[in-house]
Amino acid sequence: MLDKNIQLAAQWIKTAQHTIVFTGAGISVESGIPPFRGEGGLWNNYNPQCVELGYFTRNPKTSWPILKEIFYDFMGKAHPNPAHIALAKLEKTGHIKWLITQNIDALHQSAGTKNISEYHGTIDTLHCRLCLKQIQATDLKWKPFPPVCFDCGGPLKPDFVFFGEMIPVKTMETSLGHAQIADLIIVIGSTGEVMPAAMLPGVVKHNGGRVIEINIEPSNYTENLSDCFLKGKASEILQRLTNAVLNE
């Protein structure tokens, strides 16, 4: 059954005009980064209030040790896995036109993907909340702690989107624009629980496009939205799918 579905999905990818990809935390699990929800999910062990804008602003000393541990000590040191690499290859061969990721780990770019919207921002940079200076995460010395602006000493905030924070307008517009013209979307490793990102596959479907989903278990999309559900690990399924598309 899986083999048959991979062949079907490959056929759709070969014939679509504007295929886009939507990824969530599941694609980075095989790079050693735990997902947020489900088995081994970060939010089972950490309180997500550390990434709520209001809480973070009022309690930097409680939030920062958790942010540092999750997003800088750990996530910042991960490498792309075969799933990220397969998607970069499909972009290069012209089969994928745009990729929208909810992930902030920059692993798609490390794998070579160029046409990308980082819907929830990135861990790569931070900015000063007073003078707005942008700082590279690799330049952080972590002393003093919590870290402060190199120029004015103001508080720093990572450039990923916190709960209670707006998605940058340009990112929203670009992502929505691609979803509106896509005739195929490949949804990989997302529970589909966090809005507004979670609505993007629905936009494609609403406009008559098809939905391929890759996940180790059913998500919010599987029952109502997915036309072809490929159950399994992102790296394994995407390598097989890429081979089928490229006849390798």
Q: Rank residues 41 and 60 by Cβ distance to ligand APR and give the closer one.
A: 41
What is the C-alpha to C-alpha distance for residues 62 and 28, in angstroms, rounded to an integer? 27
By C-beta, is 19 or 215 nearer to ligand APR? 215
Site residues for ligand APR, window 120-159 (CB under 6 A)?
120
**Residue closer to ligand APR, measured from CB, 214 or 225:** 214
| Candidate segments 127-135, 172-180, 208-216, 222-230, binder of ligand APR by CB under 6 A | 208-216
Full DSSP string of the chain = -HHHHHHHHHHHHHH-SSEEEEE-GGGGGGGT---SSSTT-HHHHS-GGGGBHHHHHH-HHHHHHHHIIIIIIIGGG----HHHHHHHHHHHTTS--EEEE---S-HHHHHT--SEEETTEEEEEEEETTT--EEEGGG----SSS-B-TTT-PBEEEEEPPBTSPPPHHHHHHHHHHHHH-SEEEEES----STTGGGHHHHHHHTT-EEEEEESS--TTTTTT-SEEEES-HHHHHHHHHHHHTT-
CB of 28 to ligand APR, least distance (A): 9
Report angle CA 172, 176, 179 to the nearest 5 degrees. 145
HSE-up of residue 111 (Cα within 13 Å, Cβ side): 27
Q: Which stretch binds ligand APR (CB under 6 A): 22-30, 67-75, 141-149, 178-186?
A: 22-30
CA atoms within 13 A on the CB side of 98: 20
Verify binding: residue 215, ligand APR, rule CB under 6 A.
Answer: yes
Q: Please identify, among the stretches 107-115, 145-153, 200-208, 215-223, the one whose residues bind ligand APR according to the rule CB under 6 A.
A: 215-223
30 binds ligand APR (CB under 6 A): yes
Q: Is 120 a catalytic residue?
A: yes
Active-site residue (options: 84, 95, 120, 178) = 120
19 or 219: CB nearest ligand APR: 219
Asked if 25 interacts with ligand APR (CB under 6 A), we say yes
Q: Would you count residue 71 as binding ligand APR (CB under 6 A)?
A: no
Nearer to ligand APR, 93 or 220 (CB): 220
Pick from 191, 210, 225, 242: which binds ligand APR (CB under 6 A)?
191
Q: Which segment (4-12, 56-64, 126-134, 190-198) binds ligand APR by CB under 6 A?
A: 190-198
118 touches ligand APR (CB under 6 A) = no
Binding site for ligand APR (CB under 6 A): 24-26, 29-30, 35-38, 41, 102, 120, 189-191, 193-194, 214-217, 219, 233-234
